[in-house]
Amino acid sequence: MKNFLTAVLGITALFIATPSKADISHQLSTSIKLTVDAAASQTTRIPSVYTVSGSNIQLDTAGGLGSLTAGSGVGYTPADYSIVTAGDAFSFSESYIEGDSIASGTAVTSGVVGTLPTAGQMTTTAGGVAGPLAGSISSDGTFSITAGGAGTSALGQFTSTILVD
């Protein structure tokens, strides 16, 4: 009988679940990202430049650049030259580039710059138009996105993460 009881207890122990520990977490996440490109303008001002060079030339009346005035480009006054030795070869070159004036500030109204400053070198990028751009997430985690106008993007994402420690 003792052997029988030991056998029954041994078989019963095989069918009894032993406790174990496991941490399980499950996370569901839904997100939407809507963007509208901003308008941008980058300018580089051109400086005023005056150059003169030559041989067998004499300066009679000085010209060149005018005085610097805040807010405006530099003015130019032509010079008078004469040949030093008549009948001899001569060379003469004179050039002038009018620089950009200092632009006044720009104002942004409702996200739009009405008038952009002009300069010798300028890169302008138009801003996006939101138009019908939209996105929504419902309580069950589903989402919907609606495309917008030019210069927009919409990104919808659903993530399911299961972590077992």
**Count of CA atoms in the C-beta half-sphere (13 A) of 141:** 8
pLDDT at res. 161: 93
pLDDT tens figures, 87-125: 999 999 988 887 777 766 667 676 666 777 777 788 877
**Helix spans in the chain (H):** 2-15
Is residue 143 a contact partner of residue 28, using CB atoms and an 8 Å limit? Answer: no
Q: Which two tokens stand for residue 154?
A: 């919409």
pLDDT at res. 51: 83
pLDDT tens figures, 30-85: 999 999 988 777 888 888 777 889 999 998 887 766 655 554 556 777 788 899 99
More confident: 19 or 122: 122
User: How many residues belong to the chain?
Assistant: 165
In degrees, rounded to 5, the angle at the alpha carbon of residue 12 between the alpha carbons of residues 11 and 16 is 125
Nearest to 77 by CA among 99, 61, 88: 61
Q: What is the mean pLDDT of the segment spanning 133-147?
A: 91
Q: What is the mean pLDDT of the segment spanning 122-148?
A: 87
More confident: 49 or 130: 130
* Distance separating alpha carbons of residues 88 and 57, to the nearest angstrom: 11
More confident: 49 or 28: 28
Strand partners, 77: 64
Domain locations in the chain as residue ranges: 23-38+127-165, 45-118
pTM of the model: 0.47
pLDDT at res. 145: 93
**Helix spans in 37-154 (H):** none
Q: Which two tokens stand for residue 96?
A: 């002038």
